[in-house]
Amino acid sequence: DLEIRRNHLFKPMIWKEGEPGYTPAADGSPPIVKNHFELKSGIRVLFEANLLENSWGGFSQTGFSILLTPKSQNNMCPKCAVTDVTVRYNRIRNVAGVIVVANAFSKKRGATEDGGRYSIHDLLVDSVHDEDWKGHGAFADVGSNAELLHDVTFNHVTAFVTGPLFAVADREDRMPNFSITNSLFMAGQRRPEFVSTGGGKANCAHQAQRAGPEAVLAACFINYKFEKNLIIGGKGGWPKGTIVVSSPEAAGIRDLKNGVSKDPRLCHANTPGCTKASPGTAAATDGKDIGADVDAIEAALAGVE
């Protein structure tokens, strides 16, 4: 029963090597930087109306902002679990990766009790970096090699990233009830949108990634849902019904330049500054625009920064 609301979580840029005013630690090494928010144990958690800014890799992680990752640290907590977590009305920017949802062994091969039932919605992401910030620029790492990850929902997300959308790792049974709906995504062009995190043929996504997102979803998840999503610059292989366009202009985004959005709302008919309505207008399963509810996010975050 945790509630984390209306915080500005950030790393000062003077902690990052190469930035103006960079100040190393007393021994000359860079300051240790990890994520903004991580759960290794937590049940019934609300993470709402937070601004998360500036996260890069270089210590023990690769710059992800949020981690929902149950962990039996040093094999001392086999009953640890992360379940029933809601992440909503948040904004993330200037990071090397967005979110990790994974059930993984500890370094000593210890498993936890459970990880799942995550609702992630109305999330707005831009200004994502990759190798220059010692990261991969991915939207989400999704993995399960201990207790099976289950019941994960991404709904009404808007995310412009430089790497893959979903990097998947699963060496056991397929993960049940994985859902991606009503969301607007733009991925980088160097790698497929759905990729394997590695591990060779043992990973469900190893062969499937060559065939595209639908093949990865089928190989790694059971009872999955991928509906009413708008993809910018997709390479193909998407589930039927996915709206795929060639550019931000074709997607009808009001303002997006070089992965930074001053106004990520979709164009409606007769919107000033727009030549035509977005194909995502009123196209979500609930009749709303595809993507995050930007007005609701801005209202939730008013006065936070």
| Residues 131-151 pLDDT 10s | 999 999 999 999 998 789 999
Q: What is the pLDDT of residues 180-189, one digit of tens each?
A: 999 999 999 8
Helices (H) and strands (E) in the chain, counts: 4, 22
Biggest CA pair distance of the chain? 60
Report how far residue 82's alpha carbon sits from residue 237's, in angstroms, rounded to the nearest whole number.
33
Q: What is the pLDDT of residues 87-118, one digit of tens each?
A: 999 999 999 999 999 998 888 888 999 999 99
Could you tell me the pTM of the whole model?
0.95
Report how far residue 155's alpha carbon sits from residue 57's, in angstroms, rounded to the nearest whole number.
27
Residue 59 has pLDDT above 90, yes or no: no
Structure tokens at 252: 């009808």
Report how far residue 282's alpha carbon sits from residue 289's, in angstroms, rounded to the nearest whole number.
4
Report how far residue 97's alpha carbon sits from residue 161's, in angstroms, rounded to the nearest whole number.
8
Residue 171 has pLDDT above 80, yes or no: no
Q: What is the pLDDT of residues 189-235, one digit of tens each?
A: 889 999 999 888 889 999 999 999 999 999 999 999 999 999 999 88
Q: What is the pLDDT of residue 108?
A: 85
